[in-house]
Every structure is written in structure tokens, then in C-alpha cells.
């Protein structure tokens, strides 16, 4: 795919609007490119790290297990504090 560089200036309001749309780790130039491509109806899915498949039920089980461990530790600490 052939690409061409573009250069233009944006007023402060345009820069602020782009900053509000930034995705973590994305430069302002990348945000502008993504916005322009989306506005033109073209695909912007060039980075597989932006989309992740997560099994929600498995995630919930892992979080609940971790919280159970933390709760047990808290109860143990509360018992030690009461014993003082």
C-alpha cells in the first residue's frame, strides 16, 4: 500500500479534541490518522494489541479467587490486632 505524508495545522480546539480521543500509548499524530481513517470509513485495525479477547466468566472467577485470598488475609490480620 502506497502512503503519502500530510502536513497541516490545527487550531487549539482541534488539538484538544484529538487529545480527548487519544488511546493510551498513542501519539497525537496516530490519533489524527485513526480519526481521519475512521471518518473516511476505512479500516484502522492495524494493531492487534488494541483488541483482546477475554473470557469474562474466567476473569470473574480469577478475580473472585484473588479477592477471597485477600479477605482471608485481612481476617487473619484483624484477629492478630484484636489479640493485642
Q: Is residue 58 part of a domain?
A: yes
51: its cell numbers: 483488541
Tell which residue, 48, 20, 23, has the closest CA to residue 34: 23
Q: Is residue 68 part of a domain?
A: yes
Mean pLDDT (the chain) is: 84
pLDDT in tens, 10-50: 999 999 999 999 998 999 999 999 899 888 888 766 554 44
Question: How many folded domains does the chain comprise?
Answer: 2
pTM value?
0.49
Give the model's pLDDT for residue 52: 57
The label of the residue with cell 487519544 reads: 22
What is the domain extent for residue 84?
53-84
Q: Are residues 30 and 58 in the same domain?
A: no
Amino acid at each position: 500500500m502506497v502512503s503519502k505524508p500530510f502536513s497541516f495545522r490545527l487550531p487549539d480546539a482541534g488539538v484538544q479534541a484529538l487529545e480527548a480521543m487519544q488511546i493510551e500509548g498513542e501519539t497525537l499524530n496516530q490519533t489524527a490518522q485513526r480519526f481521519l481513517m475512521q471518518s473516511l470509513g476505512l479500516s484502522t485495525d492495524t494493531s492487534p494489541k488494541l483488541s483482546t479477547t477475554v473470557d469474562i466468566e474466567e476473569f470473574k472467577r480469577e478475580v473472585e479467587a484473588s479477592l477471597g485470598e485477600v479477605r482471608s488475609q485481612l481476617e487473619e490480620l484483624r484477629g492478630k490486632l484484636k489479640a493485642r
